[in-house]
């Protein structure tokens, strides 16, 4: 019944953790940073919130005991989330560093800033480009693509 490196089984077979309150505080602070606005999926954010709440109850930690972080969040998105989303719509992500883009149509391009999760759609018309939509987050781009982009499949009849 191994539950982790810091766990041990008692004589009844239940697993007890030897995590200290300081470790729980640190983990709660990190779990609070897993949010949709930081790029996490809704299920990930929900699981992190539930786990943080369970740790707070278990170690009797109050919300005001947890230091508010004014620095940048530790959680950083990777291109995997964006690439997976764009592939669902038959789009190819091109990226270099923290900037990326994908052609939605001949006249539309989505630009993505990985650091801020900001994305915008530029449309070419009459020789110049115009920003049509600007938003942030993977889920908001998913909603936009569901409404405005076609999903291509090899199995169409």
Reported as a single tens digit per residue, the pLDDT across 53-101 is: 999 898 888 887 776 654 444 456 789 999 999 999 999 999 998 899 9
Q: What is the DSSP letter of 38?
A: G
CB 132 within 8 A of CB 121: yes
Question: What tens digit of pLDDT does each residue of 29-55 get?
Answer: 889 888 888 778 889 999 999 999 999
pLDDT of residue 5: 45
CB 65 within 8 A of CB 25: yes
pTM score: 0.51
Length of the chain: 157
- Taken in order 58, 62, 67, 71, the sign of the CA dihedral is positive
């Amino acid at each position: 019944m191994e539950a982790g490196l810091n766990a041990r089984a008692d004589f009844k077979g239940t697993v007890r953790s030897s995590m200290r309150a300081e470790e729980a505080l640190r983990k709660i602070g990190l779990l609070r940073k897993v949010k949709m606005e930081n790029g996490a999926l809704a299920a990930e954010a929900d699981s992190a919130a539930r786990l943080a709440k369970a740790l707070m109850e278990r170690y009797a930690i109050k919300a005001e005991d947890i230091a508010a972080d004014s620095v940048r969040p530790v959680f950083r998105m990777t291109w995997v989330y964006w690439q997976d989303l764009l592939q669902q719509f038959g789009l190819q992500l091109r990226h270099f560093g923290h900037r990326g883009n994908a052609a939605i149509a001949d006249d539309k391009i989505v630009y993505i800033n990985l650091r801020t999760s900001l994305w915008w759609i530029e449309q070419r018309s009459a020789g110049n480009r115009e920003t049509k939509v600007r938003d942030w987050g993977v889920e908001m781009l998913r909603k936009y693509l569901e409404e405005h982009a076609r999903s291509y499949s090899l199995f169409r009849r």
